[in-house]
Amino acid sequence: MGKIIAISNQKGGVGKTTTSVNLSAALGELNKRVLLIDLDPQASTTTSLGINRSMLYSSIMDVFLNQVRIEDSVIHLSDINVDVIPATIELAHLEVKLNQEDREYALHNRLKEISKEYDYILIDCPPSLGLLTLNALYAADSVLIPVQCQFLAIDGLTQLLNTIRIVQKQQKVNNRHLKIEGVLLTMLDRRTKAGWEIVHEIKDYFKDGVFDTIITSNVAAQVAPTYGLPVTTFAPKSPASRLYKSLAKEVVKNNESR
């Protein structure tokens, strides 16, 4: 069974999508079988990987609504050894379209059919704690929380942690337990004192729950999506590429050493 990791923080612009795309590519380079699910109506993961609407036969929305078999919604990106289930803006209508019975467990139920085909399944969540994120959390084994090294970084983390706790309580029935994969510090400007202060603040709070790898601010990471590529392919020798590879090794070590 593949390890399912939700990449979540309801705060916007903290690096969820950048982490999802580049960690997936870095795991793909390590020859892991990776599925990346775009669960954000903004569809940033989808466009960051150069997938445009005209290439789409179906999207995660069709999977939710049971209009397509999940394996038929997968796009194989053989160049980077990553499989993707894309999103479109229609995903914004999920709340009104999904029927009541398995609302929060819909993704969990659909993923059962293919999770054994993969080593890692990463889910890029939207900046909210609504139905989409709940679906990701109920489907996931763990949550990776990107936190931007900036003023007010901690803001809103309490709500995310509360939501995680609620999911954990509900899950006891199913004998599963959602874990925190780790907090990932992102977009650190190494030159500013303020940035390092956030690093220390987060490390004081989460202790060894913080990844050793800290993603620094890097132009290549910012530009790569406009070329439809992960930074590991766009600028393999850039600091960002090196850092995402180091993050991938940490994730593998944490999950496969036991």
Ligand X SMILES: Nc1ncnc2c1ncn2[C@@H]1O[C@H](COP(=O)(O)OP(=O)(O)OP(=O)(O)O)[C@@H](O)[C@H]1O
What would the DSSP string read from start to end of 216-252? BP-HHHHHGGGGTS-HHHHSTTSHHHHHHHHHHHHHH
Q: Is 240 in the site for ligand X (CB under 6 A)?
A: yes
Among 8, 9, 17, 19, binds Mg ion (CB under 5 A): 17
Q: Is 8 in the site for ligand X (CB under 6 A)?
A: no
Identify the residue whose tokens are 């954000």. 40
Find the binding residues for ligand X in span 90-129 (CB under 6 A). Answer: 127
Cα 202 to chain center, whole Å? 20
Count of other CB atoms within 10 angstroms of residue 49: 23
Q: Is 74 in the site for ligand X (CB under 6 A)?
A: no
Q: Quote the strand ranges of 52-205, DSSP E.
A: 75-77, 82-85, 120-124, 142-148, 179-186
* Sheet of strand 34-38: strand arrangement: 75-77, 82-85, 34-38, 120-124, 3-7, 142-148, 179-186
Stretch that binds Mg ion, among 8-16, 25-33, 202-210, 230-238 (CB under 5 A): 8-16
Q: Is 149 in the site for ligand X (CB under 6 A)?
A: no
Q: Helices 157-171 and 131-139 sit at what angle, rounded to 10 degrees?
A: 50
Among 40, 62, 83, 141, binds ligand X (CB under 6 A): 40
Among 3, 4, 5, 18, binds ligand X (CB under 6 A): 18
Q: Binding partner of residue 214 among ligand X, Mg ion, none, CB under 5 to 8 Å per kind?
A: none
Find the binding residues for Mg ion in span 18-77 (CB under 5 A). Answer: 44
Among 23, 160, 187, 235, binds ligand X (CB under 6 A): 187
Q: Is 182 in the site for ligand X (CB under 6 A)?
A: no
Q: Is 11 in the site for Mg ion (CB under 5 A)?
A: no
Q: Please, which residues bridge with residue 184 across strands?
A: 146
Cα 243 to chain center, whole Å? 16
Binding site for ligand X (CB under 6 A): 12-18, 40, 42, 44, 127, 186-187, 215, 217-218, 221-222, 240
